[in-house]
């Protein structure tokens, strides 16, 4: 994926992977703080013109915890005792079988390989963030 598409897409986001990778140099901040910061960023990104027709389903590992709200097009799930990877692949496969345009956003190589094996498109967290940030910069001019 070289650029974000304006076509309606369901982005299945590996929330724990994205929040920890994107803000790794966070200087001792807690997982919960990183997740809230990620959700604030995702809320802004989801409002970018190119992403307005899309929706985001963020899956965090583990039990429910307050992660903050990102926006109307964002739904947050917690995997509880099930691995978030299983939830993401299962939902991606279902959407693919229903003809829904879906992309898993993760930098977990194992998850990306597993998704590719099922025919599900993926993009790394870093690539998605870079493209979304570029769109946000364009709109702020």
* Residue 40 · residue 66 · CB < 8 Å: no
Give the C-alpha separation, 139 to 17, whole Å.
Answer: 27
Take residue 106 and report the two structure tokens written for it.
């993760």
Q: Token match 């190589």: residue?
A: 109
**Average pLDDT over the chain, rounded to whole?**
91
Separation of alpha carbons 129 and 124, rounded Å: 9
Instruction: Give the tens place of pLDDT for each residue, 72-91.
Output: 899 999 999 999 999 999 99
pLDDT tens figures, 35-84: 888 999 999 999 999 999 999 999 999 999 887 776 789 999 999 999 99
Q: Where are the domains of the chain?
A: 1-12+23-76+122-141
**Residue 69: predicted pLDDT:** 72
CA 124, CA 127: separation in Å to the nearest integer?
Answer: 5
Which pLDDT belongs to residue 27? 62
More confident residue, 25 or 14: 14
2, pLDDT greater than 90: no
Chain centre to alpha carbon of residue 6:
16
Say what the pTM is: 0.93
CA distance 57 to 44: 15
- pLDDT tens for residues 125-139? 999 999 999 999 999
């Amino acid at each position: 994926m070289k650029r974000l598409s304006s076509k309606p897409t369901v982005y299945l986001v590996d929330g724990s992977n994205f929040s920890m990778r994107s803000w790794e140099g966070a200087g001792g901040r807690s997982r919960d703080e990183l997740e809230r910061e990620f959700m604030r960023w995702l809320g802004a990104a989801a409002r970018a013109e190119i992403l307005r027709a899309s929706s985001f389903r963020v899956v965090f590992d583990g039990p429910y915890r307050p992660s903050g709200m990102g926006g109307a097009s964002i739904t947050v799930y917690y995997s509880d005792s099930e691995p978030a990877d299983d939830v993401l692949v299962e939902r991606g496969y279902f959407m693919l079988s229903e003809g829904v345009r879906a992309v898993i956003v993760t930098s977990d190589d194992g998850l990306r390989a597993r998704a590719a094996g099922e025919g599900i498109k993926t993009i790394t967290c870093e690539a998605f963030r870079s493209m979304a940030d570029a769109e946000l910069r364009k709109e702020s001019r």
